[in-house]
Amino acid sequence: MEDGKSTVRAVDRALDILLCFTHRTDWAMTEIAEHVGLHKSTVHRMLATLEEKGFIERDRSTDRYHLGLRMWELSANLSGSDDQATIWLPEMVRLRDQLGETVSIYVRDGSERIRIQAVQSNQAVRRVAPIGVRLPLYAGASSKVLIAFSEESVRNSILESLEWPDSFDKEQYSRNLTEVTELGYATSFEEREAGAAALSAPIFDRSGNLSAALSVSGPSSRMTLKTMRGYAPVIKESAKRMGTMSK
C-alpha cells in the first residue's frame, strides 16, 4: 500500500514539473525546484526520467530544459481531424488574412481561460499568442464573452468564485457583461497587458450552447476602439460560421 502511495506521489510530482512548461518554454533545474517546491535532488531524478522517455529535453549548452518531441507526438493525436480547434483553423486563417491581426480561440476551465488555438498575425509588429496559455477570467475581451454568454447559474458561480484584484470594480464589470450580451461581442483595451487590445465574439454550437470565444488581438495603436467596432460584424460572422461547424 505504501509503495502505491509513493508511486502516485511520484506521478504527481512529475506532472507538476511538466506543468511548469505551461508558463514558459524553458527552465533551469533550480528554477523548477523552486517553482514546484521540491528538493533539487528530487527534481533532478524526475527530469532524468522524463528526459529518458522523451518528454523533456536538456540544452547541453545552457543546461536548461524544454519540452521534448514526445509531447508533440501526444499533441498530434489530440489535434486529430475531429478536434474542434483543428476544424475551426481554416476559418481562423481566413479571418486573420482579412483583418491582419492575430486570431485566437479560448475556452473556460474553471476560473481561467485557455487558448486552445491561434493563428499569428503576419505583420512585423504583432501580438504573439502561444497555444496552451492560461489567463485569468477577470480581464480581457474573451473572458467577458466566456462569462457573459454562459448560463445564468454558471455566470453567477464564476463571478462569486473569481479572485478579483483589490482595485477591481465588480459592479462595473457586471454592467459591462450586460452590454456584451446586448452587442454580441466584447472589447478590451490594455486591460491585462499594456499596448494590447482585443475583440471577441461567442461561438455557439448547433444547440445554442456556448462553445468558445473567438478573439482578434493586436497592438492598441492599430486596434483602437473605433477600429474594433468596425471589425465587430466581421468577427461575429466568422464566429457564426464556426458555430455551424461545431459538434
Say how many C-beta atoms besides its own lie within 10 A of residue 130's C-beta.
12
Q: Is 20 helix (H, G, I), strand (E, B) or coil?
A: helix
Rounded distance between C-alpha atoms, residue 208 and residue 5, angstroms: 44
Question: What pLDDT digit, counting tens, does each position of 116-134 carry?
Answer: 888 888 877 666 667 888 8
- Let me know: does 145 contact 113? Beta carbons within 8 Å: no
- Let me know: does 134 contact 150? Beta carbons within 8 Å: no
Query: Residue 72 above 90 pLDDT?
Result: no
Question: What pLDDT digit, counting tens, does each position of 75-130 carry?
Answer: 655 544 447 778 888 899 999 999 999 999 999 888 788 888 888 888 776 666 67
Tell me the three cell numbers of residue 195: 499596448
Residue 85 neighbours by CB under 8 Å, 6+ apart: 79, 105, 116, 117
**In whole angstroms, how far apart are CA 195 and each of 81, 143, 184?**
36, 18, 24
Whole-prediction pTM: 0.68
